[in-house]
Amino acid sequence: MNLTGPRLAWVALLAAGCGGRPAFWSSPIASSLPAFNLGTEVALVDASADRVVLLSVGHAQSLTATSVPVGVNILNAAASPDGTKLYVVSAGHRAQLGDGQPDEHPSLTVVAAGTAAGAPPARYDLTNVTDPLAGLAIDPSGRWVVLYPSDGNNQPFVQNPNELAMIDLSQPAGPTLAVVHTLMSFGGHPQRFTFTPPLALPIGQHPLLVVESDQDVSLLRLDLDNPPPEITIPLTNGSDTRLLTPAGIAVYPGDTTTGASIGIRLANDNDVVALQFVANLDAGGNPIGNGFLPTVNLTDVGGIASDIAFVRTDGGLRLGALVPTKSKATLIDPTTNLTEDVALPAPYQSLSVVTDSLGTASGCGGAAAGAAPPTDVALLWNGTTVQGQEGVAFWELGQAGCQPYRSIDTVGITDVVADVLDVPTPNATLKVLQTRSANTFYILNLANRTAAPLETADDNIGLSVSPLGDQVWTFVPGGTTVFATRFADELPRSLLIERPVAGVYEVGSADTDPAVIVLHDDGGVGATVYDATMPDDATRRLYGGLLLGGAP
């Protein structure tokens, strides 16, 4: 064999090409990774590596990244309403002939807080689902997850928009048969899912799944092995043929004297719908179908309702609806359909019942009404256009010793409040008000009804309330500014941050002091970790390449 120089070089080059590496190293890190604060860890959904990375903090701001493998081809991820669990839906993989990647069913992986400390994640392999469903609805009680068709990549070529795959998480993890159900379709597409608490129905206490499509509402029972067909309520106003689109619901679970009720506001009609329930039994007292039927009451509130909530007034339970186009609220008696309008000083668009946050601190009315039936205090916000009255207002819904009946008490905030953040105990009587396009945020004290302004140099700010309820973190997304403001003294303290900020997450653990993880996401993923209680530049630690470790 005549081995000339070039041939020898080619032999070396070919030999050098042998071998390979896991696909992990060739999969780039996506920008703007979804991140979730699970309380003790920050979960990063690293979709291109088919895993979740949990960041947990130990002694002296040490940061540990724990890789949790999930099903391949992640479609969606969402945290539970209480924020302690992360649910990850994966499409799986259908292996073709000669495919080196093994066949894998669609799956749901539940990553709970504490997984980084060794608790294994629960993975449910959906053996009877072939095509991926990306929509994800989570039962606040933790028992059910519903998958439904959604827009996005990796969705099947042909899909039934009314298909639901319901997964009972009370069963052991592993191969799982999802309860597959097709909603009776009148042409609608499911838009929102609400898992109710147990409702006082004529047949007893039962939770329901309320599905809002773009033209009707369906009610499903999930607490039966073989649930009867759902009840679908087409939405029309009776005066024309328009299909009405639900825009949100409010649920009253019922009590010892009042049955459950569901309120529905509409996106394209002045009516508000109130559902109540009557028994549906045969002559022998046996349930027919679900055993109950809804009664539908429509109430014209004079404009499109922007928000609704069930409130307790001293006149009884009412469905409160905000009508910003009329700068008013309407109280609807769900039983009689009688209404009462309350004029508002601004076109508030959002309503939050803050009675529970007030506790016994309301001072005027509210839950501290002695032996009288408890009544609510509502916070009205997200007003627009009326200069000087855009901020927030308290709406007293009960007879008060120092306030007139159903009075509106405005707070001197001159900015439009875009969001209201809850503050955990021990400062539950505080709310953090995020403004829209204003260089200010507020700490609202529900007890004394004062709002402390905190001015910022930028109107594009992110806010994150400490899970300990002792401070609020303020940052500029993409900037290098992070401040902590303690509620006790309302004094801002800055952190020294040297990389662009993607998010700020305060986490705690039983073993160490709480820490704040300032996430950087500018090409790679890094973090700056501070002691959350006593932020000190001298003890901060900086981490880079957080998603480069933990290779499979």
Under 8 Å between Cβ of 291 and 281: yes
Q: Is 478 in the site for another protein (CB under 8 A)?
A: no
Min. distance of Cβ 70 from another protein in angstroms? Answer: 17
Which residues are CB-contacts of 67 (< 8 A; sequence separation ≥ 6)? 51, 52, 53, 549, 550, 552
Report 491-520 residues binding another protein (CB under 8 A): 498-499, 520
Among 58, 373, 424, 544, contact with another protein (rule: CB under 8 A): 544
Nearer to another protein, 49 or 465 (CB): 49
CA distance 473 to 496: 13
Please name the amino acid found at residue 59: H
- Pairing, β 287-300 against β 271-281: antiparallel
Nearer to another protein, 11 or 95 (CB): 11
Min. distance of Cβ 83 from another protein in angstroms? Answer: 25
Which residues are CB-contacts of 118 (< 8 A; sequence separation ≥ 6)? none
Q: How many CA atoms lie within 13 A of 286 on its CB side?
A: 2
Among 526, 530, 532, 533, contact with another protein (rule: CB under 8 A): 526
Min. distance of Cβ 49 from another protein in angstroms? Answer: 8
Nearer to another protein, 230 or 521 (CB): 521
- Identify which range of 23-31, 100-108, 138-146, 422-430 contacts another protein by CB under 8 A: 23-31
CA distances from 366 to 98, 246, 328, 332 (A): 69, 31, 21, 19
Among 1, 26, 238, 284, contact with another protein (rule: CB under 8 A): 26
Nearest by Cα to 526 from 514, 510, 543: 543
Find the radius of gyration of the CA atoms of the chain.
Answer: 27
CB atoms within 10 A of CB 69: 14
Which residues are CB-contacts of 246 (< 8 A; sequence separation ≥ 6)? 191, 192, 212, 213, 214, 216, 217, 235, 264, 265, 266, 267, 273
CB atoms within 10 A of CB 97: 4
User: What is the SS3 string spanning 349-366?
Assistant: CEEEECHHHHHHHCCCCC
Q: Is 186 in the site for another protein (CB under 8 A)?
A: no
Q: Is 374 in the site for another protein (CB under 8 A)?
A: no
Among 1, 28, 96, 225, contact with another protein (rule: CB under 8 A): 28
Nearer to another protein, 26 or 286 (CB): 26
Min. distance of Cβ 550 from another protein in angstroms? Answer: 9
Among 139, 314, 506, 521, contact with another protein (rule: CB under 8 A): 521
Q: Is 522 in the site for another protein (CB under 8 A)?
A: yes
Q: Is 58 in the site for another protein (CB under 8 A)?
A: no
Torsion on CA atoms 67, 122, 228, 159, rounded to nearest 10: 30
CA distance 401 to 152: 55
Under 8 Å between Cβ of 217 and 274: no
CA distance 9 to 512: 58
In the block, tokens 């009707």 appear at 216
Min. distance of Cβ 552 from another protein in angstroms? Answer: 9
Nearer to another protein, 29 or 147 (CB): 29
Torsion on CA atoms 114, 107, 175, 66, rounded to nearest 10: -30
Q: Is 545 in the site for another protein (CB under 8 A)?
A: yes
What residues form DSSP beta bridges with 48?
Answer: none
- Identify which range of 169-177, 213-221, 325-333, 525-533 contacts another protein by CB under 8 A: 525-533
Report 2-21 residues binding another protein (CB under 8 A): 4-6, 8-9, 11-13, 15-21
Among 278, 288, 338, 548, contact with another protein (rule: CB under 8 A): 548
In residues, how long is the chain?
552
Report 448-477 residues binding another protein (CB under 8 A): none
In the structure encoding, which two tokens stand for residue 145, read together?
Answer: 């997850």
Q: State the Cα angle at 297 between 293 and 300, rounded to 5°.
A: 160
Nearer to another protein, 103 or 498 (CB): 498
Nearer to another protein, 404 or 523 (CB): 523
Q: Is 235 in the site for another protein (CB under 8 A)?
A: no
Min. distance of Cβ 43 from another protein in angstroms? Answer: 18
CA distance 355 to 368: 9
Min. distance of Cβ 514 from another protein in angstroms? Answer: 18
Pick left, alpha or beta for residue 361 (phi over 0 → left; psi -120 to 50 → alpha; otherwise beta). alpha
Q: Is 27 in the site for another protein (CB under 8 A)?
A: yes
CA distance 336 to 182: 35
Min. distance of Cβ 37 from another protein in angstroms? Answer: 19
Binding mask 63-92 for another protein (x = CB under 8 A): x-----------------------------
Min. distance of Cβ 56 from another protein in angstroms? Answer: 13
- Identify which range of 70-78, 201-209, 270-278, 524-532 contacts another protein by CB under 8 A: 524-532
Q: State the Cα angle at 339 between 336 and 343, rounded to 5°.
A: 165
Q: Is 546 in the site for another protein (CB under 8 A)?
A: yes
Q: Say which DSSP state 104 is in.
A: B
CA distance 504 to 495: 11
Count of residues in contact with another protein, rule CB under 8 A: 48
Min. distance of Cβ 463 from another protein in angstroms? Answer: 23
Among 43, 138, 525, 532, contact with another protein (rule: CB under 8 A): 525
Min. distance of Cβ 186 from another protein in angstroms? Answer: 48
Q: Is 542 in the site for another protein (CB under 8 A)?
A: yes
Q: Is 536 in the site for another protein (CB under 8 A)?
A: no
Residues near another protein (CB under 8 A) are 4-6, 8-9, 11-13, 15-22, 24-29, 49, 62-63, 498-499, 520-529, 540-549, 551
